[in-house]
């Protein structure tokens, strides 16, 4: 009963592999190199029509994409891992809210910051758009930072929110110029605490070898 994860190091596949590692679920990793543009290959588009990683093949078959859906699904399939507050618990509503916030208010802007030329034809316009997108991502991350309760995102208990928030804080837009260390202290503390979890340390080292 093995999951097959299509992804790349440094990418959003991190949150899926981390959640599955916490659950102790067996995983086979199939690399899709963003650097080589393999996400646009015909064979990968057949799995993920938007050409985005991660894509997860479930042990019983069937592909699932979209990190928000994947985190909720993994939490549901592996309740013993306590990745999310159980349905009916008061914190469940906030957990779902902030997973959706990161997926819909931050992740789409990462595409604009990473590939501005997809949105604006001229070189100069693309450079301006890239900067605006980076600013927008930072503004949204500040909202996440202000919301995180500490020591974990939801307070006393670790959850998938910690994995997700820490992932967004690792990417170029937050990293450049030491911005995240200055402005995201709670998320940085969460990232450091994730690294201390035995199941997560190897996953962290695989995806973010530079910290
Ligand atoms: N909505 C998707 C977004 C995934 C996404 O943007 N993944 C990036 C890598 S972190 C990607 O595949 N980018 C390649 C591209 O846009 O060509 C999700 O939540 O899984």
pLDDT mean over 203-208: 98
pTM over 0.85: yes
What is the average pLDDT score of the chain? Answer: 97
Q: Per residue in 83-115, pLDDT tens?
A: 999 999 999 999 999 999 999 999 999 999 999
Residue 210 CA to residue 192 CA, distance in Å, equals 13
pLDDT at residue number 184? 98
Ligand 1 pocket, residue 52 CB under 6 Å: yes
Give the number of other CB atoms < 10 A from CB of residue 181: 12
Ligand 1 pocket, residue 7 CB under 6 Å: no
Q: Both ends of the chain: CA-CA distance in Å?
A: 31
Q: Per residue in 28-58, pLDDT tens?
A: 999 999 999 999 999 999 999 999 999 999 9
pLDDT at residue number 45? 98
pLDDT at residue number 1? 81
pLDDT at residue number 211? 83
- What does residue 32 show for φ and ψ, rounded to 5 degrees? -125, 105
Mind listing the domains of the chain with CATH numbers? 3-81 (3.40.30.10), 90-197 (1.20.1050.10)
Has residue 160 got a pLDDT over 90?
yes
Ligand 1 pocket, residue 170 CB under 6 Å: no
pLDDT at residue number 180? 97
Question: Is 152 in a helix, a strand, or coil?
Answer: strand
Ligand 1 pocket, residue 113 CB under 6 Å: no
Residue 94 CA to residue 91 CA, distance in Å, equals 5
Q: Which residues are paired to 7 by β-bridges?
A: 31
Residue 150 CA to residue 117 CA, distance in Å, equals 38
Asked if residues 67 and 11 have their Cβ atoms less than 8 Å apart, the reply is: no
Q: Per residue in 108-154, pLDDT tens?
A: 999 999 999 999 999 999 999 999 999 999 999 999 999 999 999 99
Asked if residues 160 and 99 have their Cβ atoms less than 8 Å apart, the reply is: yes
Asked if residues 199 and 24 have their Cβ atoms less than 8 Å apart, the reply is: yes
Residue 14 CA to residue 25 CA, distance in Å, equals 15
Distance 92 CA to ligand 1 centre (A): 25
Has residue 190 got a pLDDT over 90?
yes
pLDDT mean over 8-37: 98
């Amino acid at each position: 009963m093995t999951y097959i994860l299509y992804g790349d190091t440094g990418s959003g596949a991190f949150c899926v592999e981390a959640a599955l590692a916490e659950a102790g679920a067996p995983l086979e990793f199939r690399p899709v190199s963003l650097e080589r543009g393999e996400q646009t290959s015909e064979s990968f588009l057949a799995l993920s029509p938007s050409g985005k990683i991660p894509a997860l093949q479930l042990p019983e078959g069937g592909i699932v994409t979209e990190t928000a859906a994947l985190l909720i699904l993994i939490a549901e399939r592996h309740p013993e891992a306590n990745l999310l507050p159980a349905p009916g618990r008061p914190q469940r509503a906030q957990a779902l809210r902030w997973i959706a916030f990161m997926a819909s208010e931050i992740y789409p802007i990462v595409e604009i910051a990473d590939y501005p030329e997809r949105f604006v034809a001229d070189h100069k316009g693309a450079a301006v758009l890239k900067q605006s997108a980076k600013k927008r991502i930072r503004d949204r991350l500040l909202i996440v930072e202000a919301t995180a309760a500490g020591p974990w995102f939801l307070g006393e208990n670790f959850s998938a929110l910690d994995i997700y928030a820490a992932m967004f804080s690792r990417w170029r837009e937050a990293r450049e110029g030491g911005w995240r260390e200055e402005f995201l202290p709670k998320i940085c503390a969460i990232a450091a605490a994730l690294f201390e979890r035995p199941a997560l340390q190897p996953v962290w080292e695989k995806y973010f070898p530079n910290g």
